[in-house]
Amino acid sequence: MDMTFIYQIEHHAAFGPLIVLYFFLAGLSAGLFILSTLGPVFGIQKFKPLAKPTSTMALATLVPGLLALVLDLGQPFRALSLFYRVNFQSIMSWGSFILLIYGIASLIYTWYLWKEDARMKTWGKIGVVFAAALGLYTGFLLAVVPGHPLWNSALLPLLFLISGSVAALSLISLTKGFAPKAVGLEVMGSEEGIHTVKVWMVVLEILLIAFHLLAVLTLNDAGRAVVQNLFSGTKQMSFMIVQLVIGMFLPLILLLFSQRSTKILGISGLLSLIGVFALRYNIVFGGEELPQAGTQLYLFEGGSGWWLTAGLLVLLVILLIGLPKILQNMVKKSSGIASSQSM
């Protein structure tokens, strides 16, 4: 007698909210670091006033981003194994060293920049290479995972890099509009250049999203299913309303028609940051939500990840405000010690 067994298999998501936050903050930090080097390292004078504020912002966003990654492991000390068990065929192994070298270069560059030491140019050039690698890496990390059509596109790393740059420009607009003294942006001197660059970056971001989804749509039936889920399924609100309307098109309209008001541009920056975070959320969760085979949705366990995410965002705000003051005091003390020793 033939017997048929039917199993209801519940797939569990590998990546949760902490990884979404890590992708967001890593790209944001990389974009801020690149902006910081444009003036003092590459000689673009109109961006020079941004150098010191954005250098500390890059560090401030990197710290909670790294914490999000380590906390997501569950056993934080497991992260150390990636440095002594090197596997050059593993994208995570490459990413570990990219993060390490970028973090060291960013720290040394920022220190020399605030001390106005010429050695910051060397470390700035090293940091730019690894900042760009970090921005691309987060996209590569998803693109190489098989069985997830929404991730399997060569455009994803570039989309993550460009959207990270949009987030960096948006954070500058937000802090300039509402808390310029807190982060050292009282005299920015390059508002027009920043806004022009951001307009083109947002346009490029929208085009990359369109081409990415078109590539996924024409991939196979599974690709069509995940794209349909974004436009009319469980991710319709977060994709159509939050990411596209609130996070991309509305900020673009504000940028084009309200360039004279720092408050309006600050609101535009906030909306763009929400849009970039929503992009990471929709790509990560939307890519996991539908399995390659079958119809059972992936399950996302617990809400602790969202509470930790909120806590790390609070830490980010504290670091954005406090780090410039701490660094300024350290530079003054260092200069005082050096002058006393020379007497």
Can you tell me the distance from the alpha carbon of 99 to that of 240, in angstroms, rounded to the nearest whole number? 32
Residue at 4 is within a domain: no
Q: What is the pLDDT of residue 76?
A: 65
Residue at 240 is within a domain: yes
Cα four-point dihedral sign 111, 158, 189, 259: negative
Identify the CATH number of the domain in which residue 251 sits. 1.20.1630.10
Place of tokens 């993060």: 99
Per-residue pLDDT of the chain (343 residues), as tens digits, is 455 544 455 555 678 899 999 999 999 999 999 999 999 999 988 888 889 999 999 999 999 999 998 888 776 666 666 666 777 777 777 888 899 999 999 999 999 999 999 999 999 999 999 999 999 998 988 888 877 889 988 899 999 999 999 999 999 999 988 888 878 776 665 666 778 888 999 999 999 999 999 999 988 888 898 999 999 988 999 999 999 999 999 999 998 887 667 888 899 999 999 999 999 999 999 888 765 554 444 545 555 678 889 999 999 999 999 998 888 888 888 876 665 565 5
Helix (H, G, I), strand (E, B) or coil at 54: helix
CB 273, CB 172: distance < 8 Å:
no
Residue at 336 is within a domain: no
Residue at 8 is within a domain: no
Q: What pTM was computed for the model?
A: 0.90
Can you tell me the distance from the alpha carbon of 237 to that of 7, in angstroms, rounded to the nearest whole number? 31
Can you tell me the distance from the alpha carbon of 59 to that of 311, in angstroms, rounded to the nearest whole number? 17
Residue at 181 is within a domain: yes
Residue at 251 is within a domain: yes
Q: Which domain holds residue 214?
A: 17-329
Residue at 290 is within a domain: yes
Can you tell me the distance from the alpha carbon of 156 to that of 140, in angstroms, rounded to the nearest whole number? 7
Residue at 334 is within a domain: no
Compute the CA torsion angle 269, 271, 275, 276 (nearest 10 deg). 20
Instruction: Return the H-helix or E-strand segment holding 59.
Output: helix 51-72
Total domain count, the chain: 1
Smallest Cα–Cα separation from 163: which of 281, 333, 42, 328?
281
